[in-house]
Amino acid sequence: MEQFPFEGLNLALTTPFDRTGAIDFAAFESLIERYILTGVRGFVLSSGTGMHVYLSESESKELIARGCKAIDGRATIIAQVSALMLDDIVSRTKHAADHGANGVMVLPPFFEGPTDDAGIIDFYAEVAKANVPIIGYNVPNAVGVEITPALFEQLASIPNFVTVKDSSGDLIGQGNLIRTGFPVVNGADPLVPYALYAGAKGLIWGGANFAPKSCLALVEAAKHGLWDEVRQIWRRLEPAMSLIWKGDYVQSVYAAADLVGYGAGAPRRPLSALNADKRVAIRKALEPLIEFEGVTP
């Protein structure tokens, strides 16, 4: 069987913003270099954690183009190209591929889009014509579409549809997807070790922005079946990964990354910086990680 191209950690990279709210491309490229130095070999550009929904199409395209140029073949690149209009998704997909992305991540149709299986299959089949590996996205509480095992099996028959990122947070549901035999990527931070043990092939991990070394160490231990070591590493990660999942996810990741030393500025409006009480809680949850990460806040 051909090796799955998105194994291991794919860092859902934050998008840095300056004080005016504009993308800080210099900081963006600097972050990429720093994460590559820690050993990160997979990135998601214009990710949900990177505020894709609050980037214009031109901003997202420029971010992907610059990110691909900065990475320059040193890591695998997934570009999020989700949009409301199918033609826009196809345009974004071709743009990402032209600049060196290895695959694209695409939400199912949302905001009054089709919810029946036939409509979802037709949608992804149309995107697949761009001849770029596609990662579907299962986050039913956000878009109102669930990729069930039965639907996944049909989607997997589409040329270039390679996997589903499951961000439902439902380990039982993810296990059902894994049992189809097709590769599944976990996108729920608190489920990471359990998803890997269940057979998830890869991770798209926003929380890795603030703990890249720990996250890489966990993935490496799991790869070799060292589950006692996985559990030890997870004890350091679990307080923060569980806390950020409880709400204000993007704001929490930005705050945590800043506290550890991987700051990306404040999130873009309409999101605001994490409030003081939650920042204190995040700081406490990060205590087991700071020394291992070796970054001065």
Pick from 289, 239, 244, 288: which is nearest to 262 by CA? 289
Structure tokens at 124: 């992804």
Q: Supply the CATH classification number for the domain 8-245.
A: 3.20.20.70
Q: What CA–CA distance (Å, rounded) separates 114 from 194?
A: 32
Residue 161 bridge partners (DSSP): 134
Structure tokens at 241: 């990964």
Angle between helices 86-98 and 57-71 (to 10 degrees): 20
Q: Domain extents for the chain?
A: 8-245
Q: Please, what are the averages of pLDDT over each run of 10 residues along the chain (297 residues)?
A: 88 96 97 97 98 97 98 98 96 98 95 88 96 96 92 97 97 98 98 98 98 98 98 97 95 96 92 94 94 71
Q: What CA–CA distance (Å, rounded) separates 25 from 297?
A: 21
Query: Cβ of 134: how many Cβ atoms within 10 Å?
Result: 24
Residue 16 near residue 47, CB atoms below 8 Å: no
Is the model's pTM score more than 0.85?
A: yes
Query: Cβ of 4: how many Cβ atoms within 10 Å?
Result: 15
